[in-house]
Amino acid sequence: MDGLMETIVKYKVYLSDAEFNEVAEALITAHPCLKEPGSASGFGCWKTSLKYKLGNYRSKLRRLGCPEVTVNSLKQKPDDRRSPAYGVKKPKKAEVNYCPPYPAGESADSLEQMRVKLLSEVKIRNNEDKVAAMMDKTFAVRRLEVVQDAPMVADFKARWPGLFNVREVKAEFKRITTVELQSKFFSQLDAHSENLMKVFARKGGVLWKKIKAVMLPMTRAKCYINKFVKDYKSDDECIERDLAETVFGIYVIRHNVADPDDDPEDIGIVLEGVEVLSGLRNVPFAMAMFLGLVYALNISYPPELKYTFEALQKIIMEMQGNRLSAKVQTLKTLLAR
């Protein structure tokens, strides 16, 4: 059992009930002599033992200072909410490196000194490679800050300005998920966009007319992300006010909003009223960067867009694609026809 725990935590420290079932079933499959006689599944008691064993193993990891479990220790919780079950932070969006340990030979103090040095390094021209190396080395302390403290976007941008550019958003996404953001996003989007158009067309009736009216003036890729993309005319006086009030969205500034073929003057991303990225090439590219920022800042999917982002994560990016909600599973089935 100790060896099994060591193998499990190489992949995940927190398992779902379904995953405990899979491990217990695999155990009796590999060792039929362990199958429980008289049990419906043959592994019910093994599953319970696995849960207790993993809980004890997490306690050992916590004492050793493993960040992914220490972030959930009782001393990290509010005085009036110090129960083991309160506010447990764990991977929910297929993160591989959810809260990794510090690099060998580094401490919180040494990495904080590097963070402070980064504030001046990002202001130097043609210094992207050095900044990238320092950002890579400080990933663990930055990730712990995001997961543990959940800072406001404005505060986090002030502390880590080097993160808020296209190169580093893609790099951070890969550090967290091990998946290439841009290439995966566009290859899968291109593969699915034609079938998605056909799915919408089969709806027919009033719904199809509404969808068609929205989709006609857009490129194929944009049909996925129209819900939170806002168009502005370049001379609109309310742009700054609207962006300051935007919690979660992409803005597109055009000279002529009525003409969708008019090249945008600017495309950017706003989070909590803060412009975090600007000068993006097109809306689909902005959406890819948006997904990268959601992971980099450990942001939960907004309730009104949870199915949109679930489809992007599980169908487009193919991360945790075997665990779908009913709505997203229906879409995946339709796209496969």
Domain residue spans of the chain: 2-81, 108-177, 191-335
Supply the pLDDT for residue 257: 67
Higher pLDDT, 3 or 200: 3
Most confident of 45-49, 197-201, 219-223, 303-307: 45-49
Average pLDDT over residues 236-243: 86
pLDDT tens for 16-54 read 898 999 999 999 999 999 999 988 889 999 999 999 999
pLDDT above 60: residue 75: yes
Percent of the chain exceeding pLDDT 90 equals: 58
DSSP structure class, residue 62: H
Higher pLDDT, 75 or 93: 93
pLDDT above 70: residue 116: yes
pLDDT above 90: residue 194: no
pTM: 0.85
Q: Where does the pLDDT of residue 78 fall: very low under 50, low under 70, confident under 90, or very high at 90 and above?
A: confident
Mean pLDDT over each residue of the chain, to the nearest integer? 87
State how far the alpha carbon of 4 is from the alpha carbons of 13, 47, 271, 302, 303, in Å: 12, 12, 42, 37, 37
DSSP structure class, residue 36: P
pLDDT tens for 242-273 read 899 989 999 989 887 666 666 889 999 999 99
- Reduced to 3 states (helix: H, G, I; strand: E, B; else coil), residue 218 is coil
Supply the pLDDT for residue 142: 97
pLDDT above 80: residue 277: yes
Percent helix, strand and coil across the chain, each to the nearest 5: 60, 5, 35
β-strand 248-254 against 266-271: which pairing, if any? antiparallel
